[in-house]
């Protein structure tokens, strides 16, 4: 009886995962997002979304994100960036990548995922950070989700602050911060 009680307790502990759903590799690469509102550090999961992480890191390493903005901010939902300049000019991107949303990662608060159009395989450079859990964005049978490929490990207070920014319309776009929230730089970061 005690053995079963201990097993049940272990299943409830944070960080425990079953063999069917292994946790992402916690030693994955990290990226520092330096914004006009503060820094956000991401840990990426190449073991769960290899194509997505490789794509994202190519954009990071090329300096693509420098000077882009968080162009879509919805409180209690998410903040989205990585494709537009402050004047709402869209940057030219590389070819889209294959959707990896079936990787069993969930859209919980602090996870980072790729933005896309209605075409599941249309993600390029734009990403979003979930300010709250948005499980309706997960892959489910009959519904292709949005690929989660990492999580915020430092700077959720910055994400929350950005999410509270006053927004309005800019041309055909809605939910655009009135004052641009700029990605000053995005670089790989060594973790202890």
pLDDT in tens, 153-186: 999 999 999 999 999 999 899 999 999 999 999 9
Residue range 46-59, pLDDT digits in tens: 999 999 999 999 99
Q: What is the CATH number of the domain that holds 91?
A: 2.40.100.10
Q: Is residue 4 part of a domain?
A: no
Question: Does residue 21 lie in a domain region?
Answer: no
Residue 27 — very low, low, confident or very high, per pLDDT cuts 50/70/90? confident
Q: Which of 103, 90, 89 is nearest to 28 (CA)?
A: 103
Q: Does residue 14 belong to any structural domain of this protein?
A: no
Q: What is the pTM of this model?
A: 0.87
Whether residue 8 is predicted with pLDDT greater than 70 in this model: the reply is: no
Q: What residue numbers bound the domain in which 56 lies?
A: 26-189
Asked if the structure places residue 110 within a domain, the reply is: yes
The total of structural domains in the chain comes to 1
Say if 88 falls within a structural domain. yes
Beta-carbon contacts of 113 under 8 Å, excluding residues fewer than 6 positions away, are: 107, 127, 128, 130, 137, 146, 147, 148, 149
């Amino acid at each position: 009886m005690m053995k079963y009680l201990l097993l049940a307790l272990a299943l409830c502990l944070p960080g425990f995962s079953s063999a069917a759903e292994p946790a992402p590799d916690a030693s994955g690469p990290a990226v520092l997002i330096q914004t006009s509102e503060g820094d956000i550090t991401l840990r990426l999961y190449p073991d769960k979304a290899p194509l997505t992480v490789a794509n994202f890191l190519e954009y990071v390493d090329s300096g693509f994100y420098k000077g882009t903005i968080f162009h879509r901010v919805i409180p209690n939902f998410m903040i989205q960036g990585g494709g537009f300049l402050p004047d709402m000019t869209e940057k030219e991107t590389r070819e889209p990548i294959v959707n990896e949303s079936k990787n069993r990662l969930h859209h919980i608060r602090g996870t980072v995922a790729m933005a896309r159009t209605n075409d599941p395989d249309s993600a390029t450079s734009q990403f979003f950070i979930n300010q709250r859990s948005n499980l309706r964005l997960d892959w489910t049978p009959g519904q292709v989700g949005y690929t989660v490929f990492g999580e915020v490990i430092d700077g959720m207070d910055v994400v929350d602050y950005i999410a509270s920014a006053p927004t309005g319309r800019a041309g055909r776009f809605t939910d655009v911060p009135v004052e641009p929230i700029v990605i000053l730089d995005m670089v790989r970061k060594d973790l202890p």
